[in-house]
Amino acid sequence: MIYSDKVLEHFMCPQNAYSMPDADAEGSFGDPSCGDALTFYIKIKDNCIKEISYLVFGCCASIATSSMTSVLAKGKSLDEALKITEEDIIEALDGLPESKVHCSNLGVSALRNAINNYLKKMLGRILMKIAIPVEDKKLETSVCQSFGRALYFLIYDTETKESIIIDNSATASQGGAGIKAAQTIIDNKVSVLLTPRCGENAAEVLNAAGIKIYKTRDASAMDNINAFIEGQLSLLEEIHPGFHGNGSK
C-alpha cells in the first residue's frame, strides 16, 4: 500500500495529539468495520475552535486523518468546521489508498460530534426564541415551504420550553411578503429562523437584525426545532432571488 508523503508525515509526527481534560466539549466516533476509534477535544472562543486535540486508536491512515482534521479545524468558526468534508481531508493529505478512504470519515464524524455536543451544551444555557413557518395553527404541524407566504409562524422559547403560533400578516400582501414576514420575526424577538427557503430581501433584513437562518429538513416543525437544538441543522445557504412573479419577496 502506497501512502503519500503527507500521510506519512502526519502518521510519524501527528499534530495536536493529546488529551484535554478541560475541553469545552468532546466527541467520539468509532468505525465498527475495523474497530478504529477517535475522540476529539475542543476549546471554543468567540465561536471559533481555539484549541483542538484528540486521542486515536487505529491504523496509519486514521492517525494521519485525525491529525489533518485537527489542523484543518483549528482556528475555524464552528460553522466552517462543520463544513469540513472527507474530501477536504483526503485532498489535504495528497490522497489516500482506496482501501483507506473510509478512515477520513473517522475525523469528520468525531469532529462534528464534538461541535454538536458543544452546541447542545451551549443551547442549554443560551436562551433564545426559534421561529419556523408552519402550515397549521397546532403544535403537530408541518413546515410551510414558503417563508414570506406562510400562514403562521411557530415560535419556541428555549427558556420556558413553550411554543406559540402567530399569524403571518404578510401572507396576503401584494408584494414584499418576505420583508414583512421578516419584520414579524424581528418584532417577536426571535434569534433563529428555521425555514426550507428564504428570499434574498427577507434574508437581508433578518441578517441585519442578527437573526441566523437554518435550513429545515423533511420533518415536522417540532422535530426540526429539536434537531436544531441537537445541533443537527445547517445554515441555509441557498438564498433565492426575492421576486417570483407573484409579489412574494
Give the span between the Cα atoms of 114 and 76, in whole angstroms: 14
Would you state the torsion angle of the CA atoms of residues 172, 174, 178, 184, taken in this order, to the nearest 10 degrees? -50
Residue 64 as a binder of ligand FES (CB under 6 A): the answer is no
Name the strands in the sheet holding 152-157, side by side, starting at the edge strand that comes first in the sequence. 162-167, 152-157, 129-134, 192-195, 212-215
| Of positions 20, 61, 119, 229, contacts ligand FES by CB under 6 A | 61
Cβ nearer to ligand FES, comparing 106 with 198: 106
Residue 71 as a binder of ligand FES (CB under 6 A): the answer is no
Residue 26 as a binder of ligand FES (CB under 6 A): the answer is no
Least distance in Å: CB of 100 to ligand FES?
A: 6
Cβ nearer to ligand FES, comparing 106 with 154: 106
Least distance in Å: CB of 70 to ligand FES?
A: 16
Least distance in Å: CB of 106 to ligand FES?
A: 5
Cβ nearer to ligand FES, comparing 36 with 86: 36
Give the span between the Cα atoms of 144 and 170, in whole angstroms: 14
| Of positions 17, 34, 227, 233, contacts ligand FES by CB under 6 A | 34
Give the span between the Cα atoms of 165 and 152, in whole angstroms: 6
Least distance in Å: CB of 36 to ligand FES?
A: 4
**Cβ-based neighbour number of residue 97 at 10 Å:** 13
**Cβ-based neighbour number of residue 139 at 10 Å:** 14
* β 48-57/192-195 pair status: unpaired
Left (φ > 0), alpha (ψ -120 to 50) or beta: where does 131 sit?
beta
Q: Which residues from 77-106 bind ligand FES, rule CB under 6 A?
A: 102-103, 106
- With contacts defined by CB under 6 A, name the span among 58-66, 122-130, 194-202, 220-228 that binds ligand FES: 58-66
- Stated as kind and residue range, the H or E segment containing 44 is strand 37-45
Cβ nearer to ligand FES, comparing 29 with 228: 29
In eight-state DSSP terms, residue 100 is G
Least distance in Å: CB of 38 to ligand FES?
A: 8
Least distance in Å: CB of 55 to ligand FES?
A: 14
Question: What residues line the site for ligand FES (CB under 6 A)?
Answer: 31, 34, 36, 58-59, 61-62, 102-103, 106
